[in-house]
Structure 1
């Protein structure tokens, strides 16, 4: 996730009417399934039908998409991130000791153009710096010409060549990743206003997903994401550019307006969709929250607010981050004080692994405007999906677990203490539709995971829900293991 304090401070009070149209997939769609497999011999490409390729589920901590850049194409596996907007990969002059394995060689591309514009991106933990360039970029055969992206020359605490996860939270030492799952860079899906160029006062440019629309590669200006449970294997999830997959969710999609910002330039696609009079400014995929509650827990807190608050939906962050008081109330409502403790140096809750057997559910209430609604959209996530094992692949056999919700104001994260950010730990329970044309987000209950939206539960037919299991490196202490989170918070 890209952390921009200036954009977070600008977050929004503008009224945005919730559109009522349904998204209907047109002919030009891009379907990209997730896959959780070993990659012993580099990137894996599986063609199943036009515009389809495999995505790699890296043990539930990040979701990788295969991207080809240049002519002839050079292949990269990059982390899918709705919390940032820039695509970047390492350049050939990126030193070996600070950059991932794959590097883009501009001398081999006949369509390469240099811009000489520098950029720097600061994430929740770590940073990347380099130069903007332009070249042909394609995903699953869908091609955008003259796409602006970053060639990184230096990185810090993020995507290192050794695959170390670490350093950004507290003083915990780093923990090595499985070397077969190294990410080459980051693939941002946020609005143009969120790019590092715009945030630094430069010119606005269209990220890849917005250029898919402006260059008419896809017909419908939407993309949809199905993550599936952290333990799912094989083609366990997918992203579709230009449509939705109704077999991946149950019930109806419930739409919420994107929360706008108060200054800056408007969405460059407004003129394409006839929204030239739109005064809203959009950056994050951010919606309006209005409260939380817990059902079937040790206690049943009803955490309601007098006004709405912005909630960022971020596939580039593994955990969910809430203000400390909110996170604490929720944590103590699902586990006794003897079964949960805050590791303040790591900024996470250590939780008893047996809490995965709980029937409790955590509910977030979303408003359909910038004012609290009397009939909010409700999103329920089973606590069983939020108990993350550290020393085995299942909470049922693990001796160390952490909670999938953490306080945003603990540790050394460069975030606001009032940050509401919903990461993969909760997003896996939802099928998500991001509508660039109407500036809205749709949620429905993801099949195979166990959550619900507006009372509609996802079916178990898509894949095994396998509550609270995920593969992760074996570690010897909670403090060491929590260094994983430094890499997760993108």
Structure 2
């Protein structure tokens, strides 16, 4: 059953007919792809290639379609925590760089396409972004060619990856399903080390006159031509889906092959509808919503077109989106039961690991955590043996984050009680006046992204 709590400031009343749709909608089992392995959940980095096998699906008891995923280790991926339990600070900074780049460019795209500025977004940030993102294509390609030998890993800790297929005959890819972006891209033929898409080998691929360009803070880019082709997820296909088989990757996104954005069209680099919106409009699913259950390792699930009632307990409570583009809603942060950031903008992002808030908000948060103090560059540390709580309230309902998700690792090697640990809630100004609610929180709840109600719903995990 889906409802909103009575009298909640930021809640919507959902129709009861949206409550149970598990019998007719597909499940996609998601595997947590750890980039910097052994963060709060001690998961191990993984790389899975699907070029050699077709996607497999099986019907569960509710009649949905599941895609089981297997996990393989790799020793080449970076991690937020070293083998000795101490955080890798260079990779902690990498996480913040990724977030800042992601949201500066995203806010710039929204401003360019709609003329609307998200809260706190500065025009000078747009101007800096436009110099690269809107530069002549020839100059970008020249930059991209020089970047091929040294790729920077911009992922920030963990991804939730699952398989998709593109083209006729289909080519399989492992994709990060990202609610913090809106474009679909995979590696093209010239990219090495990944599964690739060759438009010349797909009978249904149609070229467009567009080019996808995603720019990052260090001047690197993801660049490629835009095609339209058939894209399938769990057997559900959209025809004429815009995507890019990128010809250049100045950044590394291993162990996934690419990104499928699941935010709003106004966030798209190329101004095209994302996969799920096309899927709904073409009749692939009956409900204009999708849901995520993110667990600890291989028990994640993406549910297209409905809500899997077996994955949550209690009610799904909705909070309206403040401004379409990102899945941005209003929420309140609590430290040790005390509200420290009241009804703030909060962006729900499955493509980000950390919880990132404005510096001032996060400073107020940790004032309520005894003995917590600044570590470095917006990160905070606290005595490892000290218990503290972090809760977030949406739609009048508070959700607690398990303590193991809040601990990124030790500040240094040492013996208790002198050890300090680094918190997974970080203060950083990333170009928009909003909190980024990532995997640290989302692993503890069931999350529904509802285009029909223009809202985000939460419920406790089952």
Same structural fold, with TM-score higher than 0.5 when normalized by the shorter chain: yes
Alignment of 1:303-452 (within 5 A): 303-305=340-342, 308-334=343-369, 336-337=371-372, 340-344=373-377, 347-355=378-386, 358=387, 360-367=388-395, 376-389=396-409, 401-409=421-429, 415-416=430-431, 418-447=433-462
TM-superposed CA distance for 1:313, in Å, is 0.1
1:131–1:40 CA distance, 2 compared to 1 (3 A): closer
- What SS does the corresponding residue of 2:270 show, helix, strand or coil? helix
- Name 2:127's counterpart in structure 1: none
Preserved CA contact (<8 Å) 2:341 2:365: no
Preserved CA contact (<8 Å) 1:16 1:258: no
- What SS does the corresponding residue of 2:362 show, helix, strand or coil? helix
- Name 1:452's counterpart in structure 2: none
- Name 1:482's counterpart in structure 2: none
- What SS does the corresponding residue of 1:384 show, helix, strand or coil? helix
Q: Identify the match of residue 274 of structure 2 among 203, 207, 217.
A: 207
Distance in 1 (CA, whole Å) between partners of 2:420 and 2:436 is: 24
1:382–1:320 CA distance, 2 compared to 1 (3 A): same
Aligned length: 348
Query: Structure 1: which 5+ residue stretches go unaligned?
Result: 1-14, 164-181, 199-204, 261-281, 368-375, 410-414, 448-490
1:323–1:17 CA distance, 2 compared to 1 (3 A): closer
Distance in 1 (CA, whole Å) between partners of 2:334 and 2:48 is: 46
Q: Does 1:194 align with 2:267?
A: yes
- Name 2:67's counterpart in structure 1: 53
| TM-score of the aligned structures, taking structure 2 as reference length | 0.68
- Higher relative helix content: 2
Distance in 1 (CA, whole Å) between partners of 2:260 and 2:341 is: 35
- Name 1:225's counterpart in structure 2: 292
Distance in 2 (CA, whole Å) between partners of 1:57 and 1:365 is: 34
Alignment of 1:472-483 (within 5 A): none
- What SS does the corresponding residue of 2:315 show, helix, strand or coil? strand
- What SS does the corresponding residue of 1:425 show, helix, strand or coil? helix
Preserved CA contact (<8 Å) 1:324 1:417: no
- Name 1:34's counterpart in structure 2: 30
Alignment of 1:6-405 (within 5 A): 18-22=12-16, 23=18, 24-25=20-21, 28-35=24-31, 42-43=49-50, 45-49=55-59, 51-55=65-69, 61-94=158-191, 96=192, 100-122=193-215, 127-159=221-253, 163=254, 182-198=255-271, 205-228=272-295, 232-234=296-298, 236-260=299-323, 282-289=324-331, 291-295=332-336, 301-305=338-342, 308-334=343-369, 336-337=371-372, 340-344=373-377, 347-355=378-386, 358=387, 360-367=388-395, 376-389=396-409, 401-405=421-425
1:391–1:33 CA distance, 2 compared to 1 (3 A): farther
Query: Structure 2: which 5+ residue stretches go unaligned?
Result: 1-8, 33-43, 73-78, 80-156
Any idea what the Cα deviations from partners look like across 1:50-86, whole Å, max 9, x if unmatched? 6321357899711101011111111111111100011
Distance in 2 (CA, whole Å) between partners of 1:335 and 1:28 is: 49
1:102–1:190 CA distance, 2 compared to 1 (3 A): same
| TM-score of the aligned structures, taking structure 1 as reference length | 0.64
Any idea what the Cα deviations from partners look like across 1:415-447, whole Å, max 9, x if unmatched? 226331101111111101111112111101113
- What SS does the corresponding residue of 1:212 show, helix, strand or coil? helix
